Amino acid sequence: MTVQTDILLVKKQEQELVLTAFDETVAFDLGSAIRARALAEKLSLVVDIRTWDRQMFFAATGGTSADNAEWVRRKINTVRRFQRSSYRMVLERGEQPFPPQVGADPVDFVVAGGGFPISVNGAGIIGALTISGLPGRSDHGVAVDALCDHLGFDKSTYALPPE
């Protein structure tokens, strides 16, 4: 697959993995499912689920550190600012820091996979589901898989192929 094909698939994910509603229960269900998968597969990751004004779920599995939470914070800022998944940013521009004229200081923003917009029908993007701990493409895939499971969608339709 080409980068352009991956970008088109990520855009499809962003457009179609839309929730009918989002509240504390949905955040807990999504986050708990991701944590359970991480434990079952022995994945070291942090998961953060939030609206723009508050964190609604956070969990870390063994092998993670404060650095993972910091990566999550920076990925969330990227999703919020650019209104797209942080992995789409990687595909579109590479993992280079933003140039100074963009005003997205690397202290607060990062181009790395794992931040995925939480979209709600009729409301648009209201927050982010963010993973850190795996390679960026895999972080992104964990978020997409969780949303597919929650929505009852076939994961194979939305999964990026292995690199």
Query: Confidence class of residue 103 from pLDDT cuts 50, 70 and 90?
Result: very high
Q: Is the pLDDT of residue 1 over 90?
A: no
The whole-number pLDDT of residue 163 equals 81
The whole-number pLDDT of residue 9 equals 98
Determine the Cα–Cα distance for residues 144 and 114; give it in Å rounded to an integer. 9
Cα separations in angstroms, 104 against 78, 79, 80, 82: 8, 12, 12, 10
User: Does pTM top 0.85 for this prediction?
Assistant: yes
Structural domains in the chain, CATH included, are 3-155 (3.30.450.150)
pLDDT in tens, 120-154: 999 999 999 999 999 999 999 999 999 999 999 99
Here the tokens at position 61 are 């599995």
The whole-number pLDDT of residue 106 equals 94
The whole-number pLDDT of residue 62 equals 97
Determine the Cα–Cα distance for residues 26 and 56; give it in Å rounded to an integer. 9
**Over residues 59-75, mean pLDDT:** 98
Q: Of the given ranges (15-24, 45-54, 73-82, 96-105), which has the lowest mean pLDDT? A: 96-105
Query: Confidence class of residue 77 from pLDDT cuts 50, 70 and 90?
Result: very high
